[in-house]
Amino acid sequence: MIRSQNLNNAFFSSANDGSLEEILETIGFQNQVATMDQTHSSEIVFADSNISYKCDGIYTNKIKLPLVVKTADCVPLLMESSKGVSATHAGWRGLEKSIFEKSLDIHEISSLKISIGPHARKCCYEVGVEFLKTFNNSINKVNDKYYLDLTRNIKQFAFENNINLEDTNVCTICNKEYFSYRKNKTNERQFSFIWI
């Protein structure tokens, strides 16, 4: 697991860390966790108990209630501010629907810290030319192929607003220690955790 150096209680798992239940036992929470039934939406909800919420972003100010986001190639985005913590599943569909901007609304920007977990990176995340329409400033063209940088706008926002941001810099496609749907159509996922 990768432990966040930026956030107080946050981890990103790899393919080697086991099931959700095994990881929860390792970090000392068993089944006390708020999860998401993720649908690539921009829906963000408040979590106050250890159930599964139908959304792609959850936040809480409750102590010792870990929030979990499941990802393979999408971005696990963990955030912390004076208002609480949040976990966001940010794929290209969610980013297109402004899930990052919506997740900022639940935080206090001057105290915000962000951690970006393992996801498909611009080195490997090949997309079609149609992505230029929506993600023009986040596309790299190499040898007539287009590669999407999912976190370019997030990093730009953090830089412009002097927000403390860390990035694991792990690509799930080219790193063999991570699950990637793009790599082999797996149904397996990494888990990212944050709690107060």
Could you read off the pLDDT of 121-146 as tens digits, one per residue? 999 999 999 999 999 899 999 999 99
Residue 30 has pLDDT above 80, yes or no: no
Proportion of the chain above pLDDT 70, given as a percent: 100
Query: What average pLDDT does range 8-21 have in this prediction?
Result: 94
Find the DSSP H helices in the chain: 20-27, 92-96, 99-104, 132-135, 152-160, 181-184
E strand or H helix that includes residue 75: strand 75-81
Question: 58 pLDDT exceeds 80?
Answer: yes
The 3-class secondary structure across 50-73, one letter per residue, is: CCEECCCEEEECCCCCCEEEEECC
The pTM (predicted TM-score) of the whole model is 0.94
CB distance 41 to 147 below 8 Å: no
pLDDT of 196: 95
| Chain segment 63-105, per-residue pLDDT in tens | 999 999 999 999 999 999 999 999 999 999 999 999 999 999 9
Q: What is the mean pLDDT of the chain?
A: 95
Mean pLDDT to the nearest integer, 179-187: 94
Computed on alpha carbons and rounded to an integer, the radius of gyration of the chain in Å comes to 16
Tell me what pLDDT residue 27 has.
Answer: 86
